[in-house]
Amino acid sequence: MAKKPVLEQWNATCSADLYGVNNWGSGYFGVSDSGDAVITPFAERGPAVSIPEVIKGLKERGMDLPVLLRIENILDSQISVLHDCFNHAMRDLEYQGEFRGVYPIKVNQQEQVVERITEYGEPHHHGLEVGSKPELIAALSYLHDREACIVCNGYKDREFVDLALYANKMGYNCILVLEMPSELALILERSRALGIRPRMGIRIKLAARAGGHWTESGGDLSIFGLSTAEVVDVVDELRKHDMLDCMHLLHFHLGSQIPNIRDIRNALREACRVYAGLVDEGAAMGYLDLGGGLAVDYDGSHTNFLSSRNYTLGEYCADVVETVMSILDERDIAHPHIITESGRATVAYYSVLLFEILDASRLEDRAIPIDLPEDCPEPTENLLEVYRSISLKNLQECYNDAIFYRDEIRQMFRMGTCSLRERSVAESLFWAIIKEIAARVDEVKRPTKELAGIQDSLASIYYANMSIFQSLPDSWAIDHLFPVMPVHRMDEQPTEKVVLADITCDCDGKLDRFIDERGVRRTLDVHDLRKGEPYYMGAFLVGAYQETLGDLHNLFGDTNVASIHINEDGSFDFVRELDGDSVADVLSYVEYDPKMVLERFRNVAERGIREGRITPQDRYAIMKAFEQGLRGSTYLNGLR
Ligand SMILES: *Cc1c(COP(=O)(O)O)cnc(C)c1O
């Protein structure tokens, strides 16, 4: 394809527009005049930290890409913003209860993350949501704020219940949420045995459902929560034991990433009616827990598209507070404390995956074979004819003909009537035609679907030193879209349209769907690769769900992780670093013993000496390389 002329006036602002940073970045990311992607943790007012500068700092410390970069200030800010927005809405509407956020540990369980959330959350009494014994144990050791809630969802056994009861005795506000009717008997029994009155909640199945990827969490068919009949049974049982004063909380969870605010409002209305019903029955109550679902606008389109949301945080908070008030005021019921279990919205922004491009594979600009050999097959001559006849008026016709003659040649090749070299001449001609057509498509007023897609079919492949399966698993599993862009050279006009392939040997290990304000793009605009110069890119908003869902496809392990803290003056500190998995680490995950691996290979090397293939000195060098490989990273290094 003839490259578009590079515009003189291209600048960093054009790149910011092209990649939509200001739409999806939530004020945390931008592009500097010099073309660097920057982090702006304090929004417009504060300093901008250049991501290439951060990469330079990492490399100086011996840390290679891929690196998962965590920006602590953003986590701090997201927690504050959530509380500020709710507090603001509550003040405005004269709501009588308080807001109590909790962070669901499953969204990113890494120690660094939970540790920071409890620290940054303390001034707001931000608590934790747990769904299993390991999560409860982590919560109990990291959350020291007695005003904050620990909401215990998930299925519970005796150990789980005992631990939660002991926690209450120690002063934690630890609430056991019934997920199944049978858990009540267990809680009552353990409470009697330990002599500790439980603090309980109840999770309900709503009839309301929401649109989105994870809608199964709501609706009658949801595997979690109690039906209305079961709720009534629980109430009767509690009354029988004179324990209605132990029932404090109503919980529901619609699913994650709910793009449409109407779905949230509908579900909340239904839940408020149940809440009122429980108050009528004499339950103590006091907390209404909306679960997660607060979405992230990954594509910046601000729509009810799956990767977006059609509401702002401010609108979400105001809607929630207003809805609760409108229903409970009608009934003169005291306003409950509102809990949300926002995980995605809390942590997504704070991590960026930084990676390097290793190489490109593109349709080469081959010389067009104008002088065909004497006895070349007829379809080849026809292809040359097509090539010569291309004009703006007959693009579609030429496209059809090119496909037709190329298929004829391929057919002849299969039949053995055309040689490898003859086929190669024809294929080169074919691609020359396609490129020529692609170069003119933009001038066509209403191109057909085929013509419109032709530029995508010419996309080059950029090979990225990372594993989609390890670092962006949702992109592979559920076609989730993350914003991806280069993090430098953005003052230059990108000239290439590419798809990204990772280094796993799997045809699914690719990114070929990219964010777009109006739908999905099939290719990403990037810069050409320069010899001997690295090309750095980032996948943004990857802080939620991606780390522990990642898998060891082809045994590519965890990437390095680095956390930075940005200071008011724009300087930044590397506060924590975590080495990614070594080859020995990932082998041990799949039950190899690295010592045995070494031992076995040593025996092979020794046999090599006995058989006269290698010298003892060779063995020394070989074993050194092998051991170094075991200790080293699973990703490629030093290629460009
Ligand atoms: C997963 C989950 C959440 C987190 O949802 P987000 O959409 O990430 O905020 C909250 N509550 C429960 C019960 C969950 O299962």
Dihedrals phi, psi of 499, to nearest 5 degrees: -110, 155
CB contact burial 354-379 (16+ within 10 A = b; e otherwise): bbbbbeeeeeeeeeebeebeeebbeb
Residue 342 lies in a domain: yes
Ligand 1, pocket-test mutation among 82, 107, 480, most atoms within 8 A of CB:
107
What's the 255 CA to ligand 1 centre distance in angstroms? 7
DSSP category for residue 70: E
Residue 212 lies in a domain: yes
Q: Which residue CA neighbors atom 4 of ligand 1 most closely?
A: 292
Distance of CA 112 to the CA centre of its chain: 18
| Residue among 584, 583, 626 nearest 601 (CA) | 626
Residue 128 lies in a domain: yes
What does the pLDDT read at residue 103?
Answer: 98
Residue 357 lies in a domain: no
Please give the number of the atom of ligand 1 that sits closest to the Cα of 346: 9
- Overall number of domains in the chain: 2
| Residue among 465, 496, 210 nearest 359 (CA) | 465
What's the 75 CA to ligand 1 centre distance in angstroms? 17
What does the pLDDT read at residue 517?
Answer: 84
CA 213 to CA 292: how far, in whole Å? Answer: 14
What does the pLDDT read at residue 306?
Answer: 87
Residue 464 lies in a domain: no
pLDDT in tens, 107-166: 999 999 999 999 999 999 999 999 999 999 999 999 999 999 999 999 999 999 999 999
What does the pLDDT read at residue 284?
Answer: 97
CB 105 near ligand 1, within 6 Å: no
CB 294 near ligand 1, within 6 Å: yes
| Residue among 329, 272, 338 nearest 102 (CA) | 338
Q: List Cβ neighbours of 91 (8 Å cut-off, separation of 6 or more).
A: none
CB 253 near ligand 1, within 6 Å: yes
CA 189 to CA 385: how far, in whole Å? Answer: 87
Domain boundary among 298, 330, 347: 347
> For the chain, which residues score pLDDT lower than 50?
1-2
Residue 450 token pair: 């085929």
pLDDT in tens, 79-109: 999 999 999 999 999 999 999 999 999 999 9
What's the 290 CA to ligand 1 centre distance in angstroms? 10
DSSP category for residue 170: T
Q: What is the pTM of this model?
A: 0.91
Domain boundary among 315, 347, 379: 347
Residue 513 lies in a domain: no
Q: Are strands 484-486 and 29-31 parallel, antiparallel or unpaired?
A: unpaired
Provide the domain limits for residue 258: 97-347
Residue 610 lies in a domain: yes
Please give the number of the atom of ligand 1 that sits closest to the Cα of 295: 7
CB 187 near ligand 1, within 6 Å: no
Ligand 1, pocket-test mutation among 106, 254, 256, most atoms within 8 A of CB:
256
Ligand 1, pocket-test mutation among 78, 155, 341, most atoms within 8 A of CB:
341
Domain boundary among 316, 347, 378: 347
Residue 326 lies in a domain: yes
What does the pLDDT read at residue 370?
Answer: 74
What separation in angstroms does the CA of 566 have from each of 40, 54, 70, 74, 127? Answer: 9, 11, 11, 9, 25
State the residue for tokens 């809680």.
Answer: 187
CA 320 to CA 239: how far, in whole Å? Answer: 31
